Amino acid sequence: MSISTSQRVLALPFGIALSCCCFAATTLAADWPQWRGERRDGTWNETGLVKTFAAPVTKPLWSVPISAGYSQPTVAKGRVFLTDRLEQEDQERVHCFDANTGDVLWQHVYDCDYKKIGYDAGPRAAVIVRDGLAYSLGTMGHLFCLDAASGAVIWSHDLYTTYDVQMPVWGLSASPLIEGDLIIVEAAGRRATLVAFDRKTGREAWTSLASKANYSSPIVVDQAGQRVLVLWVHGSVVGIDPGNGKMLWEVDYASTKMPLGVATPIWHGDYLFFTGFYDGSLLIKLNQDEPAASKVWRRKGSSERKTDALHSIISTPVILGDYIYGADSYGELRCLELMTGDRVWEDQTAVPNGRWATIHFVQNGATTWMLNEQGDLIIAELSKEGFKEISRTRVIETTGRQSPKLRDVCWAAPAYADRKLYVRNDEKLVCIDLAE
């Protein structure tokens, strides 16, 4: 039987008062409450940030020990949420830390047997926080709704058992999303690829699709006067009505090997862009007269070395104006023409060459902040003229559990909130001051 426990660290009255003051201050700053930020689009609008770094290595404001995992930290109301795995105990954990000090506020621990999971170094999906509730999805399908202040379990589901999950090779990786009163999860079940629950009660609202899952997290876009959930599943991209789960459109994205893409769909005006390690790139256009979509172009190379357009795996690209910027299969930073996929330039100075080499992009005004897999934070400007590096500093060390067969890396995406960077490896979570 799975044992679930919640542990909360108690504070003295003075500590409570101080915590409340910190809470009031941080509510005025930008949060990072879900995968890829407040709007789920990899943009960060805070100002008053450092223009160049003072040293090649930046010391953290604080650092706390954690265990292995791939999940991105999320930040809401002065708290940092993160998941990891205790491998020897076969347990996953949800952590809540004070964003200003790193103090442990609570932990939720539960049994989790990984069975046959490739790259088994912990959970993938980011915790999502809304209205005082924190939602976590584990690698094997343990879905929890927790009280964000105390860690108490409000409701939970075992997706693996309930929906007969066709477990992807690397486990459940897509981060859930909230739309209205629903939380929508890619469950990868044989009778339901997508499941929506009432986010306050946990009651099932609808199920949708019956195809194999991928690793890419869904987004919701505005199309033809309504909201449309966009999801990359096995062999196609689909548009779903998030209110009832009905399929609105489907565009072929067939794979010759297996769908292997963690990159989130990029929404840019009337266009959606997708990229995968084996599948190359796909650009589709959204019809604004009715919910429909059509392929603009699809390009892929003959192998992972001889690529065309962009063959990303973990990195989600960025679109600026009429150009796409992203990391290719071995970390080649590329610029493509949006409407054709033609390559404008390529650069290998942002990250060393290596299979699945990764850069996490976040756009802040005219500058692109890039965390590469070597733990380097780079401030840059991306344009059709080339990659312009402004400043670089090492913010965290690489570790071996995330990529045991390749090299030591830092593959987890970071969070940006309150002019700070929150970044993790397999051993620690650190907070870096980015204020000017």
Give residue 346's domain range: 4-433
Q: Which residues 6+ apart lie within 8 Å of 229 measured at CB? A: 177, 179, 184, 194, 218, 219, 220, 239, 240, 241, 242
Least confident stretch, 134-138, 160-164, 283-287, 391-395: 160-164
CB 112 within 8 A of CB 90: yes
pLDDT band at 112 (very low <50, low <70, confident <90, very high): very high
Mean pLDDT value across residues 266-271: 98
CB 181 within 8 A of CB 198: yes
pLDDT band at 29 (very low <50, low <70, confident <90, very high): low
Looking at residue 3, what is its pLDDT? 38
pLDDT band at 6 (very low <50, low <70, confident <90, very high): very low
Looking at residue 221, what is its pLDDT? 98
pLDDT at residue 25 greater than cutoff 50:
no
Q: Tell how many helices (H) and how many strands (E) occur in the chain.
A: 2, 33
How many C-beta neighbours within 10 Å does residue 409 have? 24
Looking at residue 10, what is its pLDDT? 34
pLDDT tens digits, residue range 324-358?
Answer: 999 999 999 999 999 999 999 999 999 999 999 99
How many C-beta neighbours within 10 Å does residue 93 have? 24
Looking at residue 7, what is its pLDDT? 43
Closest by Cα among 72, 166, 167 to 118: 167
Mean pLDDT value across residues 382-407: 96
pLDDT band at 393 (very low <50, low <70, confident <90, very high): very high
Task: For residue 182, list its beta bridge partners.
Answer: 179, 198
pLDDT tens digits, residue range 189-240?
Answer: 988 999 999 999 999 999 999 888 889 999 999 999 999 999 999 889 999 9
Which CATH number do you get for residue 371? 2.130.10.10
pLDDT at residue 78 greater than cutoff 60:
yes
pLDDT tens digits, residue range 227-252?
Answer: 999 999 988 999 999 999 999 999 99
Looking at residue 74, what is its pLDDT? 98
pLDDT band at 28 (very low <50, low <70, confident <90, very high): very low
Number of separate domains in the chain: 1
Looking at residue 16, what is its pLDDT? 38
Q: Which residues 6+ apart lie within 8 Å of 311 measured at CB? A: 275, 276, 277, 278, 279, 280, 281, 300, 301, 304, 328, 329
Give the CA distances from residue 309 to residues 27, 38, 333, 392, in Å, rounded to whole numbers and listed in that order. 41, 29, 11, 27
Q: With residue 434 as reference, give the H or E element that holds it.
A: none
Q: Encoding tokens for residue 117?
A: 């999971």
Query: How much of the chain exceeds pLDDT 90, in percent?
Result: 88
pLDDT at residue 13 greater than cutoff 80:
no
Please, what is the average pLDDT of the chain?
Answer: 92
Mean pLDDT value across residues 38-47: 96
Looking at residue 255, what is its pLDDT? 80
Closest by Cα among 6, 11, 8 to 106: 8
CA angle 50, 412, 308 (to 5 degrees): 95
Query: How much of the chain exceeds pLDDT 70, in percent?
Result: 93
Q: With residue 361 as reference, give the H or E element that holds it.
A: strand 359-364
Q: Encoding tokens for residue 287?
A: 């019809």
